[in-house]
Amino acid sequence: MSLPLGFSDHPAGLLRVGPGFTLAGHSTNASPGFSGKKADGAAALAARAPVLSQLQEQLFAESRFGGKKSILLVLQAMDTAGKGGIVGHVVGSVDPQGIKLTAFKAPTAEEKAHDFLWRIRPAVPGPGMFGVFDRSHYEDVLIHRVHGWADEAELDRRYAAINGFEAELAAAGTTVVKVMLNLGRDEQLDRLSARLKDPTKYWKYSPTDLDERAFWPDYMDAYQKVFERTSTPNAPWYVVPADKKWYARLAVQEILIETLGSLNLQWPAGDFDVAHERARLKDA
């Protein structure tokens, strides 16, 4: 596969979590594989959007003729890391008809009464769809670990349940791509401050963001354990430096392009006789 525009190496390979990965060793401000600056990144994002868009259209088209493949992008991150920007600027460049987006908030009383995967399953993309989870079942091993809402035995059960669930998705044709946007603690402070300086951004601020910020090291430990326990060949994690929004968007776009590109998608031949239909059209 040729190198994407402006990259000296494929970001998917550079950012994929492998054996021995340690989150602490990774810069949040770097732009691995990309030598350009912000303007170059924005230009590359725009230039590559049609590539992602066509791959999504092929995925969708295949499903109209029996194709079972789908893709699921799982986004996890600390507050302000830019999940919304990925949704708006990367996912937003493909046809909305092919997107199934679910934002998982704090669970409702009904959701809490069920096991943690209960509310996740109905959000899984059907054939041909590009699913996106803005937060996910990983909250149940992140915030739950940080605040002690689940003990070690229960967390062990959940890691195993997640791996089983994701293996099941893979077997059914859903390619799972898990992205952690790796934001710096100082950069988060700047972004929260910016929200409090601009009245058009107040609505994005919540006092609880600051409460959770106090648990930063615990969250990083919880993410590290997630990577150790749930990075599988079926459903790899990618840790994407997120201090530079433009880089994070570009990297996620390329990870999606590489993943969809590996599915060997084809335009469907159609299930009708083309010559016959052309003849019918003449009289229509």
Which positions touch its own copies (CB under 8 A)?
61, 64-65, 84, 87-88, 91-92, 95-97, 99, 101, 103, 132, 134, 189, 192-193, 196, 199-200, 202-207, 210, 213-214, 267-270, 272, 274, 277-278, 280-281, 284
Q: How far is the CB of 212 from its own copies (least distance, A)?
A: 11
Measured from the CB atom, the residue of 20 and 199 that comes closer to its own copies is: 199
Rounded to the nearest 10°, the torsion over CA 17, 21, 24, 27 is: -50
Measured from the CB atom, the residue of 97 and 262 that comes closer to its own copies is: 97
Token pair in block for residue 141? 């091993």
Measured from the CB atom, the residue of 188 and 231 that comes closer to its own copies is: 188
Measured from the CB atom, the residue of 22 and 200 that comes closer to its own copies is: 200
Q: Which amino acid is residue 252, in one-letter code?
A: V
Q: How far is the CB of 27 from its own copies (least distance, A)?
A: 22
Q: How far is the CB of 38 from its own copies (least distance, A)?
A: 20
Measured from the CB atom, the residue of 112 and 280 that comes closer to its own copies is: 280
Complete edge-to-edge strand list for the sheet that includes strand 99-103: 99-103, 130-134, 70-77, 174-182, 237-241
Residue whose structure tokens are 């669930």 = 165
Q: How far is the CB of 143 from its own copies (least distance, A)?
A: 18
Q: How far is the CB of 126 from its own copies (least distance, A)?
A: 12
Q: How far is the CB of 167 from its own copies (least distance, A)?
A: 28
Residue whose structure tokens are 């100082």 = 186
Give the whole-angstrom CA distance, residue 73 versus residue 162.
15
Give the whole-angstrom CA distance, residue 151 versus residue 18.
27
Measured from the CB atom, the residue of 160 and 189 that comes closer to its own copies is: 189
Q: Which amino acid is residue 212, in one-letter code?
A: E
Q: How far is the CB of 191 from its own copies (least distance, A)?
A: 11
Measured from the CB atom, the residue of 28 and 93 that comes closer to its own copies is: 93
